[in-house]
Amino acid sequence: MRSRLILAALMPAVVLAASPGVEQARQLYQQTEYLPALDLLKKVPSPDVEALLLTGQTYYGLGNYSQATEVLERAARLAPNDADVQVWLGRAWGRRAESSAVWNQLRYAGRAHEAFERAVALDPQNRTALADLFEFYIEAPGIAGGGLDKAAKLVPRMTAVDAAWGERAQARIDEARNDFNSA
């Protein structure tokens, strides 16, 4: 019984001890020192969502989209209602689709689409999620879930967040449609 109390008293110290490593890794990540950041993150004994998200972002920064999706999928399972995790998961799947063999591209693009849609559903005012979903719609072919009509449906939501942003989005759609007078 006494050993359990001592162990329980030490648990917050263990958790706090891991946080400085994650914070130091975040600073390295922000300086684009991805490999040293990854080394620190690999030493985190029981990574939480924050550590997994940062690890996924670091793999993404290194261009290792396969590892990024694997780690970000773990983060998404731990925090299924975290829009930021979904945004990064969508980005990783999108890059993985762009850089993979033809036979995998459609499947990976579909996963990117699902993640972006989920991010916007979780946080409808999240500019990053809206912007990434908009970009997906503009860039992805219709067979992968993209399309200018879908992008156009996002414009009112974007305008509600920021009127100028919505106007720029509409101009981008008009340009993609070769409607240069409206653009």
The answer to whether residue 158 is domain-embedded is no
Residue 121 falls within a domain, yes or no? Answer: no
pLDDT tens digits, one per residue of 70-89: 999 999 999 999 999 999 99
Residue 183 has a pLDDT of: 61
Output the pLDDT for position 21. Answer: 81
Amino acid 127: pLDDT? 95
Q: Which residues of 33-55 are buried (b: 16+ CB within 10 A; e: fewer)?
A: bbeebbebbeebeebebbbbbbb
pLDDT, position 47: 84
Structure tokens at 173: 């759609």
Percent share of the chain, pLDDT over 90: 71
Q: Is 46 a member of any domain? A: yes
**For the chain, what is the domain count?**
1
Q: Is residue 128 part of a domain?
A: no
What is the per-residue pLDDT across 7-19, written as a single tens digit (0 to 9) for each?
A: 334 434 333 344 5
pLDDT at 45: 83
In a domain, 86, yes or no: yes
Task: Say which CATH number the domain at 8 has.
Answer: 1.25.40.10
**Residue 66, pLDDT above cutoff 80:** yes
Least confident of 1-15, 25-39, 72-86, 97-111: 1-15
Lowest mean pLDDT among 13-22, 103-112, 146-155: 13-22
Ranges 35-39, 58-62, 113-117: which has the least confidence: 35-39
Mean pLDDT score, 123-143: 94
Query: Is residue 37, in this structure, part of any structural domain at all?
Result: yes
Q: Let me know if residue 136 belongs to a domain.
A: no
Please say whether the beta carbons of 51 and 44 come within 8 A.
yes
Is 116 part of a structural domain of the chain? no
Of 58-62, 94-98, 111-115, 175-179, minimum mean pLDDT range: 175-179
The domain in which residue 64 lies consists of 2-111
